Structure 1
Amino acid sequence: MHGHRKRPWNRAPWVLALMTTLCAELTFTAVAVPKTWLLLPLLLVMYGAGVLVIREAVVRVGGGWPSLVLLGVAYQLAEDGLGLQALTSPRMYGAADWGLRAFGVNLTYWESQIGVHVVLSVLVPVGLTNLLFPAHRDRPYLSNKGMVGAIALAIVGVFGLRVFISGLMDPGCRTPWGWTAAFLALIALCWILALVVLPHRRTRRVRPARSVPRPEVVGFVSLYLTMAFLTTLLPLGLGSHLLLGDLMSPLQRLFVAALTAVPFGLLVLRWKAAADWSDRHRIWLIGGILVSHTAFMMYGSVSAVCVGAVTLVVEVYLLTVLTRHVRRRATGRRDGHHAAQLGAM
């Protein structure tokens, strides 16, 4: 009789949970506020479990990047609208001074966090995990029981934000019931569109670029446009200095930021559809976003500059290691294919 083989341990979901936390907070907020590391257990539960649920749900229904983007928006609403209550709070982070506030909601903060969470909390961590575990790219990571557990942890994470961050930084703050209902409705709509509507619709093929620029150029473009988006909406280092505050009105900044983010997304889609798009391009694209994201926080104090510099060195080193790993894997596949061809002769 053959003994039951143990199911091999799947590292991918744990890596995704860690990547999400690192990309979203520990290479951003923690640069200016190193105490953020003390919240690592809560951040792993909220970010890690939340994005793991998003990735699992999209893969199980056969969805693609549009579904990930919509669920990233839903995730942002759950975190900032229901957990932190930062979308409606007039005091949290001092964000009420950053831009346009209307109907009781901070629209500037909302737009900035949609961009940050869709890209840094969802798309970048999922992309990095796919590069590390390409064989699992289109497969679920979790069993049904694991999925239920991840959903429960994500909900606990949102409540944890309400208690341990919103409750301490802005005690007494309560999102109006009308906006709570609106956020819940928007979250439900995003999930329905992402998991029921989009996977069964034929998406129009993006016209591919004739040729993709060198990976270094892709990295520079992503670095520049990420910084342009962030500095249009947010003060450097999340302090009090708005780089473009005297040049544009709050409403104009909302439009300019959107006109930065949307064309950038369309450009990336054209690049990805090109025949010469490669894993090196993906790594440089992600690297530009991450480096710019971290550099944005290196303002306001010597501590932020020092912590940010160390963070940037570690980011670049790890991306270099990933590039080498991807290159060795590609070389191994080519050698294996060549050996198989020789054996068949």
Structure 2
Amino acid sequence: MNLSRRRPSSTAGGQTAVAERSRGGRPPRGRRAALSLVVITPLVAEFTLGATPIAMAWLILLYIPIYGFGVLTIRELLRRTGGGPGSTLLMGLVYGLIEEGVALQALTSPHIYHVARWAPRPFGINTAYAELNLAYHAVFSVTIPIVLVDLIFPGLAHRPFLRRRGLIGAGVVALLGVLMLRASVPPKEDPGYDVPTVALLVIVALIAVLSVAALWLLPRSGRPARSQTGALVPSPVTVATACGVATLLYLGLLYPFGGAHRPAFTHGGWTLVPMVVGAVVAVAAWSVIRRWSAAAAWSRRHLLAAAIGALVAHTVFGLAANTHTVANGVGLTAAGVVMCALLALLDRRVRDVPGSGLRAPS
């Protein structure tokens, strides 16, 4: 975590900008930042949740192309088009549709992971699974890794990491990652199943519409100045606690503990209740964070605190939901301890960086 402790003068900043343009627009340390995002993304999305147990940590290599390079591609597009927090979340939904709907086919498969038993399936859609995982990808697979890397490399937070050729290369690797996941997981988990043509067309249409909205409509609609100088912002500890509680509520409401994998389990209309409550929790959390981040007092430490609260909560949830053996529990606990130590170090560095108390993006 190499954070600059000194701010360059305006002259030095101008010279740096000229040097960057002379090298084709790639910021210094851009490759290092890009590599950090490629590595951090699957660790946040899979490993620290316990979805990939420590005994199978090698699977992270399988996830790096789709997770790491996929999110890197998304970030590069967002920085080139000026997309903000809303665009990031929309592109997170796009990522979720690609992975869950196209690569894994889990949004419509009647057999994979037993998710068809979680809730009613109108139009053949695994509704509870879709609600749980699309939101999870938007927050934990896309938004939080981008936030963390932007805080680790604050000088590059609002710039692309790569040149145009690097962006194209990252996109190609991400596409190969989609094909690799499609060829490896569905044939094993649900052999012989293919997404119905109509469902696939709908998913592709949603991907296109959300991408246009995120990369073209939202950035060009302009974001009005919303800084509320006198608005109160709670302490970073309170922000972290609120985000942690919201994360635990959302995941806990939608994940069917115990019964989801039993053959005799059958869903009923009552499962719509936690789905509705979960949606309310998600909207409420977004509204509160959006209001807090509009205040002039919102800082990089608040932004990091929001990420820390969500990350710690999702690992605690993973201990309850994804560790079925003592070894897995010990492994995830160890991973959680290391994660907390690294986040604490990042928090200390953020506090030490000059200007870290200034307003930060939401």
Scaled by the length of structure 1, the TM-score of the pair is 0.87
Residue range with higher mean Cα deviation, 279-288 or 70-79: 279-288
Unaligned runs of 5+ in 1: 335-345
1:295 has 2:295 as partner = no
Corresponding position of 2:144: 124
1:320 has 2:312 as partner = no
Decide whether the 8 Å contact of 1:233 with 1:257 is kept in 2.
yes
Decide whether the 8 Å contact of 2:120 with 2:126 is kept in 1.
yes
Select 1:139's aligned residue among 159, 164, 168.
159
2:344 alignment partner AA? T
Q: 1:331 to 1:178 in 2, by over 3 A?
A: closer
Give the secondary structure class of the aligned counterpart of 1:88: coil
1:220 has 2:220 as partner = no
Q: CA RMSD in A?
A: 2.7
Q: 1:333 to 1:198 in 2, by over 3 A?
A: closer
Select 1:110's aligned residue among 130, 145, 155.
130
Scaled by the length of structure 2, the TM-score of the pair is 0.83
Give the secondary structure class of the aligned counterpart of 2:36: helix
Give the secondary structure class of the aligned counterpart of 2:318: coil
Shift >4 Å, 4+ stretches: 4-9, 204-209, 236-241, 245-248, 331-334
Select 1:14's aligned residue among 32, 35, 39.
35
Q: How far apart are residue 236 of structure 1 and its match?
A: 4.4
1:26 alignment partner AA? F
2:155 alignment partner AA? A
Corresponding position of 2:195: 175
1:284 has 2:308 as partner = no
Q: How far apart are residue 85 of structure 1 and its match?
A: 0.5
Decide whether the 8 Å contact of 1:238 with 1:297 is kept in 2.
no
Decide whether the 8 Å contact of 1:207 with 1:270 is kept in 2.
no
Q: 1:116 to 1:237 in 2, by over 3 A?
A: farther
Corresponding position of 1:260: 281
Select 1:37's aligned residue among 48, 57, 60.
57
Decide whether the 8 Å contact of 1:83 with 1:158 is kept in 2.
yes
Residue range with higher mean Cα deviation, 324-333 or 83-92: 324-333
Corresponding position of 1:48: 68
Corresponding position of 2:3: none
Q: 1:90 to 1:206 in 2, by over 3 A?
A: farther
Q: How far apart are residue 134 of structure 1 and its match?
A: 1.0
Select 2:81's aligned residue among 35, 50, 61.
61
Q: How far apart are residue 304 of structure 1 and its match?
A: 3.5
Q: How far apart are residue 305 of structure 1 and its match?
A: 2.5
1:252 alignment partner AA? V
Corresponding position of 2:332: 308
Corresponding position of 1:273: 294
1:175 alignment partner AA? V
Corresponding position of 2:46: 25
1:142 alignment partner AA? L
Q: How far apart are residue 308 of structure 1 and its match?
A: 2.4
Rounded Cα–Cα distance in structure 2 between residues aligned with 1:37 and 1:202: 43
Decide whether the 8 Å contact of 2:351 with 2:357 is kept in 1.
no
Select 1:188's aligned residue among 183, 190, 208.
208
Q: How far apart are residue 303 of structure 1 and its match?
A: 3.0
Q: 1:333 to 1:187 in 2, by over 3 A?
A: closer
Q: How far apart are residue 229 of structure 1 and its match?
A: 0.2
Q: Which string of whole-angstrom CA distances, capped at 9 and with x for unpartnered residues, describes residues 306-334 of structure 1? A: 22221221111011110121122228999
